[in-house]
Chains A and B, each alone.
Chain A
Amino acid sequence: MTSSAIALGNVLAVESDSGDTGFQAPGLGEFFPEAIARFSLLGIDFEITRITLILWVATLAMTAFLYFSSRKASIVPGRLQFAGESGYSLVRDGIARDVVGPKGVPFAPFLASLFFFILANNFMAIVPLAQISPMSKFAFPVVLAIICYVLYIYVGIREQGAAKYFKDIFFLPGVPGYMYVLVTPIEVLQNFVVRPVTLAIRLFANMFAGHMLLVVFSLGAVYLFQVGNFSAVFGPISALMAIVMTFFELLVIILQAYVFTVLMGTYLNASLEAEH
Chain B
Amino acid sequence: MINIAAESSNPLIPPVGEIIIGFIAFGVLAFVVMKFVAPQFEKAFVARRDAIEGGMERAEAMQAEAKASLEQYRAQLAEARNEAAQIRDTARAEGQQILEELRAQAQEESARIVARGEEQLAASRQQVVNELRGQIGTMAVQLAGRVVGESLEDDARRRGTVDRFLDELGSMSASTSGAPAGTPSGSTGGSTGATAYTPGAPA
A residues with CB within 8 A of B: 2, 6, 9, 13, 24-29, 31-32, 44-47, 52, 55-56, 59-60, 62-63, 66-67, 69-71, 73-75, 77, 81, 84-85, 88-89, 92, 108-110, 112-114, 116-117, 120, 134, 137-140, 142-144, 147, 208
Contact = CB atoms under 8 A, between A and B. Distances in A.
Contacts of A71: 36, 40
A268 to B, nearest CB: 15
Given A71-B36, A139-B19, 20 more contacts: A27-B2, A27-B3, A32-B6, A47-B15, A55-B21, A59-B26, A62-B29, A63-B32, A70-B40, A88-B41, A89-B41, A108-B38, A109-B37, A112-B38, A113-B26, A113-B30, A120-B29, A139-B22, A142-B14, A143-B26
B9 to A, nearest CB: 5
B203 interface: no
A109 B11 contact: no
A30 to B, nearest CB: 8
| Majority DSSP secondary structure for residues of A touching B | helix
| Majority DSSP secondary structure for residues of B touching A | helix
B179 interface: no
A119 B106 CA distance: 108
> Which of B1, B26, B34 has the most C-beta atoms of chain A within 10 angstroms of its own C-beta?
B26
A76 to B, nearest CB: 9
21 contacts: A9-B2, A27-B3, A32-B5, A32-B6, A32-B9, A44-B16, A44-B20, A45-B17, A47-B18, A59-B25, A62-B29, A71-B36, A73-B41, A73-B44, A74-B47, A109-B30, A113-B29, A117-B26, A142-B19, A143-B23, A147-B26
A32 B14 CA distance: 11
A56 B30 CA distance: 14
A107 B32 CA distance: 15
Interface of B: 1-6, 8-9, 11-23, 25-26, 28-30, 32-34, 36-38, 40-41, 43-44, 47-48, 51
B139 to A, nearest CB: 129
B14 A29 contact: no
Contacts of A26: 3
